[in-house]
């Protein structure tokens, strides 16, 4: 499927640059035409002569090159390709891409392109885990950049952990996926997704909430949009950017979320991934509650509306498929089975959020899919992978109905 495809390979300045030489060969074996941009730092790891001998073409290195601009300008270079692949994607290149820098040929071509971009990050484990790199990664993902790896393992610097560039066959598989015509099994469907925590006010300055980060719900909204659905995301307060191409409604409390979900109907699919507070304070104080001689206040609670049960049991405008999430700390599957029956939804995604699992706030998730027909346990995987698998499962069920 790579036959005749034009790949613009950006080789950054990292030890893993040597693997990109093999990547060029393997892409050519599959009939792809590869052009390469080599960063200044990249030339410290592989020579322009090696890269050019393999691509059989000029190696593009300079932004301000009269010959290059006359032969093929940087804009044309970045648009002439079917796909841009950055391998190795250094921490520096990822930062430049995330912030829209354009101060050398590689970053300018990456900013000027209108084509899909795939990055294969490679760096020291501390650089990879640094909040700045993780922030940049999140931004790139939100901008629609595809990411492959990195893998975990020993590094040239002697440390161990995530940061090793994916192996060539993994990068090729990601390239094939990025070039495959987008499957749009949810085209024509409206999907409502909830995400994040809710905040229940105690007084004008205090609230009760939970540790939900919204990463899983937002990933599902993104995956549903990529599958062709028109998506309304109703989200509680989270520190994530709104997913591209998704109508995002920001709410605070469970009651706000309920109202926003009802207003978003009709929809053919509803996926309730938000961690909605079960209770709210019965009487929200009008002014800040003060410390005083009376000691700490006693808070009385009332139950919040049950969004999953309410929407599952609607007699009008019930979505054809209602998916609930069950965050449990014990008896995960049994509790999810009971919840499925009690709420009247079609599918429950149960996850273990006990301390130590890293599910709340983390980037990966172990889930069990519970339906009336049985239970399926998925191996621990990234929240993006869970979202993609869940959306394709939902698409199958919708198609079968």
Ligand X SMILES: Cc1cc2nc3c(=O)[nH]c(=O)nc-3n(C[C@H](O)[C@H](O)[C@H](O)COP(=O)(O)O)c2cc1C
Report, as residue numbers or ranges, the catalytic residues: 157
Place of tokens 């590869």: 34
User: Cβ closer to ligand X: 90 or 198?
Assistant: 90
- 3-class SS string, 130-194: CHHHHHHHHHHHHCCCEECCCEEEECCCCCEEEEECCCHHHHHHHHHHHHCCCCCCCCCCEEEEE
Please select the residue that binds ligand X; options are 21, 23, 32, 42, rule is CB under 6 A. 42
Q: Which stretch binds ligand X (CB under 6 A): 13-21, 24-32, 211-219, 344-352?
A: 13-21
In the complex, the smallest distance separating the C-beta of residue 11 from ligand X, rounded to whole angstroms, is 8
In the complex, the smallest distance separating the C-beta of residue 145 from ligand X, rounded to whole angstroms, is 15
Q: Half-sphere exposure of residue 164, counting CA atoms within 13 Å on the CB side?
A: 15
Q: Is 123 near ligand X (CB under 6 A)?
A: yes
In the complex, the smallest distance separating the C-beta of residue 163 from ligand X, rounded to whole angstroms, is 8
CA distance 196 to 259: 16
Q: b or e along 259-274 (b: 16 or more beta carbons within 10 Å of the residue's beta carbon)?
A: ebbeebbebbbbbbbb
In the complex, the smallest distance separating the C-beta of residue 91 from ligand X, rounded to whole angstroms, is 4
Q: Is 150 near ligand X (CB under 6 A)?
A: no
Please select the residue that binds ligand X; options are 39, 61, 198, 359, rule is CB under 6 A. 39
Q: Which of 259, 256, 269, 274 is nearest to 225 (CA)?
A: 269
**Helices 17-29 & 48-55, crossing angle to 10 degrees?**
10
Quick note: the x/- pattern for ligand X over 313-352, rule CB under 6 A, is: ----------------------------------------
Query: Where does residue 213 rank: exposed (0-12), middle (13-18), buried (19+ CB within 10 A)?
Result: buried
User: Cβ closer to ligand X: 98 or 271?
Assistant: 98
Angle at 393 between CA 376 and CA 234, to 5 degrees: 105
In the complex, the smallest distance separating the C-beta of residue 52 from ligand X, rounded to whole angstroms, is 18
Q: Is 14 near ligand X (CB under 6 A)?
A: yes
Q: Is 122 near ligand X (CB under 6 A)?
A: yes
Q: Is 12 near ligand X (CB under 6 A)?
A: yes
User: Cβ closer to ligand X: 159 or 278?
Assistant: 159
User: Cβ closer to ligand X: 92 or 226?
Assistant: 92
Q: Is 390 near ligand X (CB under 6 A)?
A: no
User: Cβ closer to ligand X: 46 or 91?
Assistant: 91
Q: Which stretch binds ligand X (CB under 6 A): 7-15, 60-68, 344-352, 363-371?
A: 7-15
Residues 236-265 that bind ligand X (CB under 6 A): none
CA distance 332 to 330: 5
User: Cβ closer to ligand X: 86 or 254?
Assistant: 86
User: Cβ closer to ligand X: 18 or 378?
Assistant: 18
In the complex, the smallest distance separating the C-beta of residue 353 from ligand X, rounded to whole angstroms, is 33
Residues 78-107 that bind ligand X (CB under 6 A): 88, 90-93
The contact set with ligand X (CB under 6 A) reads 12-16, 39, 41-42, 88, 90-93, 122-123, 127
């Amino acid at each position: 499927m790579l036959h005749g495809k034009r790949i613009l390979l950006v080789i950054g300045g990292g030890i893993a640059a040597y693997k990109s030489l093999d990547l060029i060969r393997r892409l050519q074996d599959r009939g792809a035409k590869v052009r390469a941009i080599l960063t200044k730092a990249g030339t410290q790891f592989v020579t322009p002569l090696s890269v050019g001998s393999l691509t059989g073409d000029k190696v593009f290195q300079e932004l301000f090159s009269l010959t290059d601009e006359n032969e093929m300008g940087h804009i044309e270079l970045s648009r002439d390709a079917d796909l841009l692949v950055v391998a190795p994607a250094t921490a520096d290149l990822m930062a430049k891409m995330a912030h829209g820098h354009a101060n050398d040929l590689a970053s300018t071509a990456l900013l000027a392109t209108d084509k899909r971009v795939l990055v294969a990050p490679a760096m020291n484990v501390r650089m990879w885990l640094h909040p700045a790199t993780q922030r940049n990664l999140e931004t790139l993902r939100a901008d629609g950049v595809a990411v492959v790896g990195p893998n975990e393992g020993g590094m040239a610097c002697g440390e161990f952990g995530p940061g090793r560039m994916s192996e060539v066959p993994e990068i090729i598989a990601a390239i094939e996926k990025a070039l495959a015509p987008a499957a749009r099994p949810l085209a024509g469907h409206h999907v409502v997704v909830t995400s994040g925590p809710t905040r229940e006010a105690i007084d004008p300055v205090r609230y009760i909430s939970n540790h939900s980060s919204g990463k899983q719900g937002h990933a599902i909204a993104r995956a549903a949009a990529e599958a062709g659905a028109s998506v309304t995301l109703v989200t509680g307060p989270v520190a994530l950017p709104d997913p591209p191409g998704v109508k995002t409604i920001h709410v605070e409390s469970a009651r706000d979320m309920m109202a926003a979900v009802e207003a978003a109907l009709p929809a053919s699919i509803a996926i309730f991934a938000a961690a909605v507070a079960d209770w709210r304070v019965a009487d929200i104080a009008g002014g800040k509650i003060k410390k005083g001689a009376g000691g700490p206040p006693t808070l009385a609670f009332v139950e919040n509306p049950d969004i999953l049960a309410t929407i599952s049991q609607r007699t009008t405008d019930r979505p054809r498929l209602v998916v609930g999430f069950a965050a449990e700390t014990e008896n995960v599957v049994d509790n999810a089975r009971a919840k499925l029956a009690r709420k009247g939804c079609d599918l429950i995604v149960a996850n273990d959020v006990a301390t130590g699992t890293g599910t709340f706030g983390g980037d990966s998730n172990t889930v069990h899919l519970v339906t009336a027909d049985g239970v399926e346990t998925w191996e621990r995987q990234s929240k993006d992978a869970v979202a993609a698998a869940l959306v394709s499962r939902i698409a199958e069920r919708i198609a079968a109905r």
